[in-house]
Amino acid sequence: MKLGLSVKIDVSKIDKSRLFKGEKGTYLDLTTFIDTENPGQYGDHGFISQSISKEEKAANVQTPILGNVKVFYQDKPANQPASGGASQADDGFSDDIPF
């Protein structure tokens, strides 16, 4: 299944101590949870937070929610009949996307 996601984050909430140097730049590990079937109050489908380690998870460490995720494109699952389910507007996306 292909999804198109719109992501917005509040960079002022980033814990800069979690930034790390990589071979080609400075990186930040993020985690997102997406629920395409139950949009939130503002039409979002999930949230983004900074990733935590297994040890931090065991210690119940929580990082702030940095932003939201909104699904703007979702292709039809292979087992869904062409005439069933929600219709899709022509959003200009091609099925030739190489992933």
What's the confidence (pLDDT) of residue 29?
95
Rounded to two decimals, the pTM is 0.65
Mean pLDDT by 10 residues, the chain (99 residues): 90 94 95 92 93 94 94 78 48 52
Strand ranges (DSSP E) for 10-95?
20-21, 26-27, 30-34, 46-50, 65-74
What's the confidence (pLDDT) of residue 96?
57
